[in-house]
């Protein structure tokens, strides 16, 4: 997928979260398949209500659903733990602004993004 197409998906996903029009039941299903957090419904509700803060994991599983392929990365944004999406060698991130970054980022891995070592 080309960067322009990825940027379109990222921008659309961001709008869906900002407008709170993302299907909550879908997010619960996607996140429950990704990680056991106990009460997944409550976890997703909290992520949606605080978006983009504390919503990187939920947003990233949604991106994987939208794109159909790729890898969820539990990495870092600066010194902060952060989950973002990796497709081939391109990062897609729609929650970096919780740390002062861009609302959407589609590009190569570069500081402040990093993999956990």
Long-range contacts of range 19-23, CB-CB < 8 Å, 24 or more positions apart?
Answer: 20/48, 20/51, 22/48, 22/62
Share of the chain above pLDDT 90, in %: 96
Give the span between the Cα atoms of 71 and 4, in whole angstroms: 19
Tokens 């990495």 correspond to 75
Q: What is the pLDDT of residues 25-50, one digit of tens each?
A: 999 999 999 999 999 999 999 999 99
Q: Where are the domains of the chain?
A: 3-115
Q: Report pLDDT digits (tens) over 91-116.
A: 999 999 999 999 999 999 999 999 98
**Residues for the chain: how many in total?**
117
Nearest alpha carbon to residue 83 among 39, 36, 34, 41: 34
């Amino acid at each position: 997928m080309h960067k322009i197409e990825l940027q379109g998906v990222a921008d659309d996903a961001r709008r869906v979260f900002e407008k709170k029009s993302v299907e909550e039941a879908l997010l619960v299903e996607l996140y429950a398949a990704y990680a056991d957090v106990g009460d997944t419904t409550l976890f997703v509700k909290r992520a949606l209500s605080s978006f983009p803060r504390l919503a990187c994991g939920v947003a990233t599983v949604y991106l994987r659903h939208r794109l159909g392929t790729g890898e969820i990365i539990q990495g870092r944004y600066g010194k902060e733990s952060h989950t973002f999406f990796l497709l081939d060698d391109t990062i897609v991130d729609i929650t970096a602004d919780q740390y002062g970054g861009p609302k959407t980022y589609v590009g190569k891995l570069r500081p402040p993004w990093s993999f956990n070592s």
